[in-house]
Amino acid sequence: MKRLPKDLIITIDGPVAAGKTTAARLLAERLGYCYIDSGTMYRALAWKAIQEGIDVSSPTMLLDLLARTELEFRPGPERLRVLVDGEDVTDALRLPRIETASSILSVHPSVREELVRRQRQLGIGGGVVMDGRDIGTVVFPDAPVKFYLTASPEERGRRRFRESPHGTGSLEGTLAEVERRDRRDMERPASPLKPAPDAILIDTTFLSAEEVVKELESHIHRKLRDPRDFLLA
């Protein structure tokens, strides 16, 4: 089997809790690539906005905030660590109120434009697996290998509930919030969540993380055996 080039960009998009993060992280580890979780950028901006009491429905205020905030993203094999004005806030970004705020602010085209610019900078040298909502469609439309993961809404709600901090919320509440965020992502005019035309679709409802990664790897190797796919990239 041919060796995998060291500089590919592999994109993984999909709705909330479709299994992107676990699969992308494991895949990056196996390939010796960096894993970049683009959602972290939206969450970091939401964190800073909440700290400063800024309305996340105002793109003008968010752009102003972005201009005077130092956001540093440090890609690594484990996860993207984020420093906001020098402070590592990575561990605070999973809180439910940050999640909701990141979903609301990600509808603004001007905010997305600025964050997409930074995502492209991080991925430019290749050797990355990047996950998000618009990575295969907008951020790296020429990436040679693209995946779109999905799972049933019930299964995704259950997964997110299991991951949520102990004692917060209910299963019903989590399901409803997952649906609200999906709707926002899919219905926004700017870079709506949808599979790229050349993305490989994988339903993870009945698959373990290990099975998902195996499937991703076999698609990548199949593509590698067919060099035409790479000439198109």
> Among the candidate windows 37-45, 77-85, 196-204, 210-218, which touches ligand CDP by CB under 6 A?
37-45
* Residue 79 or 214 with smaller CB distance to ligand CDP: 79
**Binding to ligand CDP by residue 127, rule CB under 6 A?**
no
Report the residue number whose CB is nearest to ligand CDP: 39
**Binding to ligand CDP by residue 19, rule CB under 6 A?**
no
Q: Which of 42, 47, 73, 147 binds ligand CDP (CB under 6 A)?
A: 42
The site for ligand CDP, by CB under 6 A, has a size of 15
Burial class (CB in 10 A: 0-12, 13-18, 19+), 231: exposed
**Binding to ligand CDP by residue 177, rule CB under 6 A?**
no
In whole angstroms, how close is the CB of 86 to ligand CDP at the nearest point?
Answer: 22
**Binding to ligand CDP by residue 147, rule CB under 6 A?**
no
Q: Which of 103, 137, 150, 174 binds ligand CDP (CB under 6 A)?
A: 103
Q: Which of 133, 144, 200, 224 binds ligand CDP (CB under 6 A)?
A: 133
Pick from 16, 191, 36: nearest CA to 110: 191
Sites for ligand CDP among residues 105-124 (CB under 6 A): 106
Residue 88 tokens read as 């590592």
* Residue 185 or 199 with smaller CB distance to ligand CDP: 185
* Residue 213 or 224 with smaller CB distance to ligand CDP: 213
* Residue 155 or 229 with smaller CB distance to ligand CDP: 155
Concatenated DSSP letters for the chain? -PPPPTT-EEEEE-STTSSHHHHHHHHHHHHTPEEEETHHHHHHHHHHHHHTT--TT-HHHHHHHHHT--EEEE-BSS--EEEETTEE-GGGTTSHHHHHHHHHHTT-HHHHHHHHHHHHHHHTT--EEEEESSIIIII-TT-SEEEEEE--HHHHHHHHHHHSPTT-S-HHHHHHHHHHHHHHHHH-SSS-S---TTPEEEE-TT--HHHHHHHHHHHHHHHHH-THHHHH-
Nearest-angstrom CA–CA distance, 36 and 230: 22
**Binding to ligand CDP by residue 181, rule CB under 6 A?**
yes
**Binding to ligand CDP by residue 16, rule CB under 6 A?**
yes
List interacting residues with ligand CDP (CB under 6 A). Answer: 16, 21, 38-39, 42-43, 102-103, 106, 132-135, 181, 185
